[in-house]
């Protein structure tokens, strides 16, 4: 079940061999792709460029994804999850990207998660697309269940409880419960939650812990919380993505006592899939921030802790198959150095990776957070 990099023979957009990530990773019965934009190398100007509007960019991103899936022995029909990251100025044109997606997938209906970001690493990019494909028979990888992005809106699309992040979180969890019940599952099967919130939600964000205690458990899922300038609905303070598993979840903890007081686990194992909470450079024993002001040192510390969680599940560094790196605007000046760090610290084949710019992270002195995923042998 060892992970292998997906390496297309024909990939005309750029030389992917020079990067510290894989275009995609095949592990177990799943294929996990990096985030892809419309970036391509232009020999006339000697650098990577992005051109075109939302429709053209979405088509290029999906063309790349098609080439990678083909190299992995999959097609668009095997895709079970699509995550589309869009810049704020792209939200009003998001219908164009949705139309391209419908063209690509035809009658197939993968789960779609839509994440507004502050910016993408390629400044001219309007959209970045990341997909997960199943084993080739139309099933989710080993019983994984992905829910679509859930917003705190009613049946008519109107916002619920304007200005109240706790009430909006409750509304989101109620919707998630209903969707899982229809699948014969419950919130106890949730292994990962991803919360995207606005700066206006920070004042009441701690109340979210009460909501999680009321709805989740007995094994608390992993979690990641990221602050973005706005969400899909202009009045939403929070929107959430949920991943569940049909296998019974098992909490994984390297021995960090701090997590005994929290409503999320460092890791959750479901079958061979190891879900991990988002990690910033917070000391898991003391709660103090490490390496303030140094994004490279923070990244090194974060990956060290990620490997501790993987080891606690009897895994190895090479079991890390996908990462999402959220960086703050203050981290961008040195973020390229994190790529060099990845080549030194991560095992080959390098994980699939997506890099995104957020508004900020839950701790003001946190410059980078990594959302990881591993598949054990």
Q: In the chain, how many domains are there?
A: 3
Same domain, 5 and 130: yes
- What CATH number did the domain enclosing 286 receive? 3.30.1330.40
Distances (CA, A) of 178 to 129, 131, 150, 182, 320: 27, 25, 11, 6, 32
Same domain, 302 and 337: yes
Pair 7, 71: CB distance under 8 Å: yes
Helix, strand, coil content of the chain in percent (nearest 5): 35, 30, 40
Residue closest to 327 by CA, chosen among 351, 309, 353: 353
Q: What is the pLDDT of residue 138?
A: 60
Adjacency order of strands within the sheet including 30-33: 4-5, 24-27, 30-33, 127-133, 79-86, 111-116
Pair 108, 80: CB distance under 8 Å: no
**Domain membership flag for residue 9:** yes
Pair 1, 375: CB distance under 8 Å: yes
**Domain membership flag for residue 208:** yes
Last residue of one domain, picked from the residues 231, 247, 263: 247
Same domain, 51 and 151: no
Write the burial class of residue 356 (CB in 10 Å: 0-12 exposed, 13-18 middle, 19+ buried).
buried
Cis omega (within 30 of 0) for bond into 349:
yes
Write the burial class of residue 354 (CB in 10 Å: 0-12 exposed, 13-18 middle, 19+ buried).
buried
Same domain, 125 and 148: no
Same domain, 127 and 2: yes
Q: Are β-strands 267-270 and 273-276 bridged in parallel, bridged antiparallel, or unpaired?
A: antiparallel
Phi/psi of residue 273, nearest 5 degrees: -90, 125
Phi/psi of residue 18, nearest 5 degrees: -90, 0
Same domain, 50 and 66: yes
**Domain membership flag for residue 272:** no
DSSP notation for 251-284: EE-SS-GGGGGSSS-SEEEETTEEEE--B-SB-T
Task: Reduce the DSSP state of residue 374 to 3 states and report it.
Answer: strand
Last residue of one domain, picked from the residues 122, 137, 152: 137
User: Residue 159 has what DSSP assignment?
Assistant: B
**Domain membership flag for residue 265:** no
Find the domain containing 61 and state its range: 1-137
Last residue of one domain, picked from the residues 81, 111, 137: 137
Same domain, 219 and 314: no
Same domain, 156 and 194: yes
CA 122 to chain centroid: 18
Same domain, 14 and 126: yes
pLDDT along the chain (377 residues), means of 10: 90 95 96 98 93 97 98 94 94 95 92 97 96 81 89 96 96 98 97 97 87 96 97 96 96 95 96 97 94 98 98 97 98 96 95 98 96 97
CA 103 to chain centroid: 24
**Domain membership flag for residue 367:** yes
- In angstroms, the CA 214 to CA 195 distance is 17
pTM: 0.96
Same domain, 288 and 376: yes
Same domain, 184 and 170: yes
Q: What is the pLDDT of residue 142?
A: 67
- In angstroms, the CA 246 to CA 118 distance is 34
């Amino acid at each position: 079940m060892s992970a292998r990099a997906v390496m297309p023979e024909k990939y005309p957009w750029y030389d992917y061999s020079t990067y510290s990530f894989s275009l995609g990773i095949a592990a177990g019965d799943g294929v996990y792709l990096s985030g892809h934009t419309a970036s391509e190398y232009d020999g006339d100007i000697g650098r990577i460029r992005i051109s075109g509007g939302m429709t053209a960019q979405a088509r290029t991103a999906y063309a790349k994804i098609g080439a990678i899936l083909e190299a992995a022995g999959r097609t668009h029909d095997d895709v079970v999850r699509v995550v589309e990251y869009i810049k704020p100025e792209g939200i009003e044109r998001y219908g164009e990207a949705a139309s391209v997606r419908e063209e690509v997938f035809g009658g197939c209906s993968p789960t779609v998660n839509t994440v507004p970001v502050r910016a993408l690493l390629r400044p001219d990019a309007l959209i970045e697309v990341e997909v997960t494909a199943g084993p080739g028979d139309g099933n989710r990888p080993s019983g994984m269940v992905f829910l679509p992005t859930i917003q705190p809106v009613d049946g008519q699309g109107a916002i619920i409880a304007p200005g109240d992040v706790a009430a909006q979180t409750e509304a989101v969890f109620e919707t998630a419960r209903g969707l899982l019940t229809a699948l014969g599952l419950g919130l106890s099967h949730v292994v990962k939650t991803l919360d995207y919130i606005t700066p206006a939600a920070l004042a009441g964000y701690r109340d979210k812990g009460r909501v999680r205690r009321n709805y989740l458990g007995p094994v608390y899922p992993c979690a990641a919380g990221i602050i973005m300038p706005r969400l899909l609905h202009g009045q939403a303070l929070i929107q959430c993505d949920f991943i569940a598993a049909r296998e019974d979840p098992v909490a994984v903890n390297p021995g960090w006592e701090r997590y005994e007081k929290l409503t999320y686990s460092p890791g959750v194992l479901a079958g061979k899939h190891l879900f991990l909470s988002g990690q910033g450079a917070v000391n898991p024993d003391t709660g103090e921030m490490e390496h303030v002001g140094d994004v490279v040192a923070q990244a090194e510390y974060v990956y060290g802790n990620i490997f501790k969680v993987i080891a606690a599940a009897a895994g190895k560094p090479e079991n890390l198959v996908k990462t999402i790196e959220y960086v703050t605007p203050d981290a961008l000046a040195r973020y390229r150095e994190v790529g060099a760090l990845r080549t030194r610290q991560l095992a080959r084949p390098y994980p699939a990776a997506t890099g995104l710019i957020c508004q900020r992270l839950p701790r003001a002195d946190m410059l980078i957070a990594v959302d990881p995923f591993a598949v054990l042998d």
